[in-house]
Structure 1
Amino acid sequence: MIVLGIICGLMLGFVLQRGRFCVVGAYRDLILAKDGRMFLATFVVIAIQSIGVYALNGTGVIQFGNDGFPWLGTIVGGFIFGIGMVFAGGCATGTWYRAGEGMIGSWIALFGYMLGAAMTKYGVWKVAGDQLLSYRTSDTYIHETLNVSPWLLVIVVAVLVGILVMRELRKPKLPIFQMKPKKKGIAHLLFEKRWHPFVTALLVGLIAIIAWPLSAMTGRMFGLGITAPSANILTFLITGDDALIDWGMFLVLGIFLGAFIAAKGSGEFRWRLPDMKTIRNNAFGGIVMGFGASVAGGCTIGNGLVNSALFAWQGWIAIIFFLLGTWVATYFTIIRKQRQTVGTSKAA
């Protein structure tokens, strides 16, 4: 049953690579390109997943935990993780699938991410991480605090996201798929057509739903998750502790393999070595992401897409601080430099 994780990961990695689905890009596009389509796509995933997981919960197939809301860790870790994403050049999942495309910088960021997460969960940063995570509220879920049915929140979010998607689709944009004439049939559909963010989000949402029962079969009662499995891979390689091998570890390995298959099939795989400054930023960003995600209790997948779909306080507060961290780092690394360059050019 544990091998089902790699099947789920293969599907997810393939879809992420073909759809170019990366959360840090979605966050940056809001301020750099004034384009909110990919950001809206992340909420399409949340809306679809929330319907599926609460239906599964209602039938008793899966159950949700109730450990309170680690508010301080979520705030501090979320902000730090957002900064790390910008330097690493991608979110945790984006780093996994871009490594599958042959990007050496992503390999470096991925190792840094594993190292930072392992150090926080099992190593020298564990005390600090545990201390931040110890500050908790009694309520885990938003509907628990509001004393309403979770289905009320599911319906509200689904309707709002549906309205925004329909408004976006009415705008004069590229068609959902952009045709390329080189291949025919299923190969053309899978490897050549341009995937619309909402189509990608629909598929990611469905995979996120499927992940719950597949994971539950192995005793792991959660959906998609990247941080703990990434930390466990590095820790297992060092310690040989086979207790760390679980469904989640196979999931992240499957993401890498699925992205590799998609990149090879579409002709997008090639080894790419960045310059030394980028390598330094990738390494730094990866370590920072690993620490931030561990302290926040999850990355842009575990918190930003899964816990948010459960309407856990942790998921929605994490999104806010992921955004803030990303925007602050984007301002100092991109926007501020652009303004200084423009000012210098005008002065000259």
Structure 2
Amino acid sequence: MLITGLICGILLGFVMQRGRFCLTGGFRDMYIAKDNRMFYALLIAIAVQSVGVFALIQFGVFEFSAGAFPWLAVIVGSFIFGIGIVLAGGCATGTWYRAGEGLLGSWIALFGYMAMSAIMKSGPLMPVNTSIQSVQLGSNSISETTGIPTWIFIVVLVTIVAAIVIRELKKPKVFIPQMKPKRTGLSHLLFEKRWHPFFTATLVGIIAILAWPLSVATGRIGGLGITTPSANILQFLVTGDQTLINWGVFLVLGIFLGSFIAAKASREFRFRMPDAKTGITSFIGGNVMGFGASLAGGCSIGNGLVMTAMMTWQGWVALLFMILGTWTASYFVFVRPRIKKTVASATTVTTA
């Protein structure tokens, strides 16, 4: 049954690579370019998954308990994670699928991410991780806290998302010149045609739904998850403990493989070596990302996509602080240097 994790991961990696489903770029563009399309795409994926998963729960396919809400760890960890993904050049899942494209900077970031996640979960920093996560509120479920049925929140979310989609699709289309198609039929649609982010998000949401029963069938109660499985891979390589190889490990390996297949088939795969500065920044970013995701109990997928769909405080609070962390890092990495350069140029002109 573990092979279903690999299949699910291949589908996810393929879809994310072809659809360029990058949450780091999406969060960053909200601030820098005032472009919210990728954030809207994330909301679509959350809504699709939420409807599907709670329908499965309603029919008794599996049970889900939101548990307690480690609010301090979620806030601090998610903010740090948001900073890390800007430095690393991609979130946890984005790093896996971009590594599958041959981007060696993502390999470097991925190693840092895996290493720090392992250190936080079972290494020297585990006491720090456990201590901060022990600061909790009683219930993580928004429904239990408010006394409002979960389906009410789902209906509200779906309504909001539907309104956003209708509004966005009604906007005048911007003409983007494209090269004459070299392929026809299904090959053109899969490997050449530009995928709409909303279509990609719908597929991601469907795959996220499938992940739940497939994972539960192996005894792992959860959906898509990246951080713990990534740490498990490194822990297994060091200790040889076969119990660390679970459905989640096959999932993340599948993401890499699915992205590789998509990149090769679309002729986008090529090894790209970063310069020394980018490589160092990617490694630092990967470590920061691993620290934050481990502390927060999830990354942009585990918290930002899955726990939001499960209508938990952890998911929505994490999503908010991830975005704030991304915006903070984007200011110092992209905006501030541009301002300094503009001021310096103006000063030079004035002096001349």
User: TM-score normalised to the size of structure 1?
Assistant: 0.98
Paired residues for 1:223-302 under 5 Å: 223-302=223-302
Tell me the equivalent position of 1:85: 85
What are the Cα deviations for residues 230-268 of structure 1, in whole angstroms up to 9, with x where unaligned? 000000000000010100000000000000000001110
Counterpart-to-counterpart distance in 1, 2:178 and 2:268: 17
Paired residues for 1:100-179 under 5 Å: 100-174=100-174
CA positional deviation for 1:172: 1.3
User: Residue 15 of structure 1 aligns to a residue in which SS?
Assistant: helix
Closer/same/farther in 2, CA of residues 176 and 242 from structure 1, 3 Å limit = farther
Residue 176 of structure 1 contacts residue 196 of structure 1 at CA under 8 Å; is this kept in 2?
A: no
CA positional deviation for 1:212: 0.4
Amino acid across the alignment from 1:322: M
Tell me the equivalent position of 2:11: 11
Residue 101 of structure 1 contacts residue 260 of structure 1 at CA under 8 Å; is this kept in 2?
A: yes
Counterpart-to-counterpart distance in 2, 1:347 and 1:172: 41
CA positional deviation for 1:144: 1.0
Tell me the equivalent position of 2:96: 96
User: Residue 153 of structure 1 aligns to a residue in which SS?
Assistant: helix
User: Residue 66 of structure 1 aligns to a residue in which SS?
Assistant: coil
What are the Cα deviations for residues 176-229 of structure 1, in whole angstroms up to 9, with x where unaligned? 997851001111010000001100000000000000001011011100000000
User: Residue 11 of structure 1 aligns to a residue in which SS?
Assistant: helix
User: Residue 67 of structure 2 aligns to a residue in which SS?
Assistant: coil
Tell me the equivalent position of 1:40: 40
Residue 179 of structure 1 contacts residue 192 of structure 1 at CA under 8 Å; is this kept in 2?
A: no
CA positional deviation for 1:162: 0.5
Residue 67 of structure 2 contacts residue 141 of structure 2 at CA under 8 Å; is this kept in 1?
A: no
Closer/same/farther in 2, CA of residues 177 and 120 from structure 1, 3 Å limit = farther
Counterpart-to-counterpart distance in 1, 2:19 and 2:238: 34
Counterpart-to-counterpart distance in 2, 1:180 and 1:83: 40
Number of positions where the alignment pairs a residue of Structure 1 with one of Structure 2: 348
Closer/same/farther in 2, CA of residues 141 and 180 from structure 1, 3 Å limit = farther
% of aligned pairs identical?
Answer: 59
CA positional deviation for 1:175: 8.1
Gaps of 5+ in 1: none
Counterpart-to-counterpart distance in 2, 1:240 and 1:156: 47
Aligned-residue RMSD, C-alpha: 1.3
Residue 178 of structure 1 contacts residue 194 of structure 1 at CA under 8 Å; is this kept in 2?
A: no
Tell me the equivalent position of 1:338: 338
What are the Cα deviations for residues 145-197 of structure 1, in whole angstroms up to 9, with x where unaligned? 11011000000000001100110011112589978510011110100000011
What are the Cα deviations for residues 88-136 of structure 1, in whole angstroms up to 9, with x where unaligned? 0000000000000000000000000000100000001101100111011
Counterpart-to-counterpart distance in 1, 2:31 and 2:200: 22
Counterpart-to-counterpart distance in 2, 1:179 and 1:74: 45
Counterpart-to-counterpart distance in 1, 2:40 and 2:329: 21
Q: Which runs of 4+ in 1 moved over 2 A?
A: 173-180
Residue 180 of structure 1 contacts residue 193 of structure 1 at CA under 8 Å; is this kept in 2?
A: no
Residue 66 of structure 2 contacts residue 312 of structure 2 at CA under 8 Å; is this kept in 1?
A: no
Counterpart-to-counterpart distance in 2, 1:137 and 1:323: 23
User: Residue 169 of structure 1 aligns to a residue in which SS?
Assistant: helix
Tell me the equivalent position of 1:201: 201
Tell me the equivalent position of 2:53: 53
Counterpart-to-counterpart distance in 2, 1:311 and 1:93: 21
Closer/same/farther in 2, CA of residues 95 and 137 from structure 1, 3 Å limit = same
Amino acid across the alignment from 2:214: L
CA positional deviation for 1:65: 2.2
Counterpart-to-counterpart distance in 1, 2:166 and 2:180: 26
Gaps of 5+ in 2: none
CA positional deviation for 1:279: 0.4
